[in-house]
Structure 1
């Protein structure tokens, strides 16, 4: 067996010498126990949540600005980044014993290259809040026009003259609150005024002279003001990023090799596979057929170690319609088992 085959067998065996005190059952003294390998597919998901707040003048955006604006607050969550990687770990449901002797040095040499210890895994990290509390939309301070206006009203009062009363008109100004549409029209007028000022500065059609940094600062300030006024019509959004890591362990005894890896909900973000409130994202595993071994098979009369030959699988992540990732992976538990002679 050459060096390349030596490495291959070590990965296929992936056997481990498990100390006697590490497992729930006591290993017999003088024996070596090992576990067959299994593949876990780890998926790292990143999603962006958008909290959209509709502007107070949204229903007048088409009338005064000629633009379509979203009319209601909305929360959405979209997938932005996803990573997928296979990891090898011990399958504790398939553990075997071997009796080491002088003839098993080659086997022990192989196991030393792929040890699996039960305390090598990650047992979770501290939890934290995924999203901060939303304070709601804030359009305060946007706009420079007053919320009040002056209206002229004609009142009448009775004046006694001689034996009769006469009605005399009295002009009186009253301060009243502007209607929502009035404020929307004023904001739209301000937007067009700012755009006109910007064109005048760029073309030099102004009494003042702008050049260099002064022109850049003036244009920047005008753009900031225009953005504030536009938000009163088209609204604005806050964005938050959520990350989650999930594991999928394929099982050979399943009829369907399609798994729900995770779900995404507009209200809750990335949620677990068993949370039915979200849209499912599916992990499809398609194993390739494993061919028969060629050559003459001779039954060994000595001790043997069982090892796994992985199945090469096409792994695809999708939402049922669109595929996001596709890769080829070696899935040990979906493959077949072989026997490695420990002695001649």
Structure 2
């Protein structure tokens, strides 16, 4: 942020022609005072995509013959799906709304705070600090284990893969029979207590799963996050936000291998069009500080024709601007102004008249 300590202050803005002239300047301190922007509201859409990886086992071709498990693929496969869509907003400089703050000996000393991009945050007050979105952290992957270490000497010594698969299937059936005997209380060596029984069953289940994975393969899952930023200036219907391919994940918007996800922006018309006030004083027209009166919009995400997520929010670029009179900032008042950094609206205004 940039803190600008202005010894004296006249808050001014020009007509539409003057605004376009000012907009070519960089925001910040100038010989005349300071230049600032009002913000417009950007949308941050965070899409979490889960990748499922299937890795075939060494005995995948024998799964149906020995374990009666059907449709086991012998090829490695990938599958992607969306697990969550997060939504948040933040403010960016609206260069079409550029205004000036100038020195004037009639004004009291004022502390003006600008964001790094030049948007006005506060006057004589601490700005609102919006926490940065947390970085996405995927869940740690469990340590992988080689199921071959559970093969006994007889299986390893088998002359070919088919024989190894047959002996491994026999081992799996023996493990399952042992589990059934323990559960029925008919095993030759029953555990002494429930905890010992639980440990024995857990070990047998793990061996069963490891050896079965040699036939049925293994499945691992990993989640990544993709962030899309949109800063709409008008209504639009079903613009392509991204495409998702089940086999490739997020792909380019023009890649027809992916299913399109659309974004629609609808202005809810909560703020009326701005009209000139013929009763307004000429001085008020050319002095003061501008703030946003944000309008309300509806953002909807579609998967094809189906709406999956919908959000309503206020956006500075869909409303109007309002002029706060420079009388609030003369020496008769101690005025504190705080703006919403996302919409540019007044978050807090405290004008206390000096005694």
User: For residues 1-344 of structure 1, what are the structure 2 equivalents within 5 Å?
Assistant: 24=26, 28-71=30-73, 72-99=75-102, 101=104, 115-118=114-117, 140-144=148-152, 145-149=154-158, 177-180=159-162, 182-212=163-193, 213-252=195-234, 256-264=236-244, 269-270=249-250, 279-289=259-269, 290-291=271-272, 298-302=279-283, 303-304=286-287, 305-342=289-326
CA RMSD of aligned residues (A): 4.1
Structure with greater Cα Rg: 1
- State the alpha-carbon separation in 2 of the partners of residues 321 and 229 from structure 1: 44
Q: Rate the CA distance shift 1:306–1:187 in 2: closer, same or farther, 3 A.
A: same
Q: 1:112-150 CA deviation, whole Å, 9 max, x = no partner? A: 5x743427999x9xxxxx9xxxxx99654353342555x
Q: CA deviation at 1:341?
A: 4.3
- State the alpha-carbon separation in 1 of the partners of residues 85 and 56 from structure 2: 30
Contact 2:27–2:118 (CA under 8 A) maintained in structure 1: no
Unpaired segments of 5 or more residues in structure 2?
1-24, 120-128, 133-137, 139-143, 329-355
Q: 1:192-244 CA deviation, whole Å, 9 max, x = no partner? A: 22111111112122222223233222211111111012101211022223234
Q: Rate the CA distance shift 1:147–1:25 in 2: closer, same or farther, 3 A.
A: closer
**Per the alignment, in what secondary structure is the counterpart of residue 190 of structure 1?**
helix
TM superposition score normalised by structure 1 = 0.65
- State the alpha-carbon separation in 1 of the partners of residues 320 and 27 from structure 2: 27
The corresponding residue for 1:159 is: none
**Per the alignment, in what secondary structure is the counterpart of residue 318 of structure 1?**
strand
Q: How many residues align?
A: 278
- State the alpha-carbon separation in 2 of the partners of residues 342 and 78 from structure 1: 55
- State the alpha-carbon separation in 2 of the partners of residues 336 and 68 from structure 1: 64
Q: CA deviation at 1:340?
A: 4.5
Contact 2:28–2:34 (CA under 8 A) maintained in structure 1: no
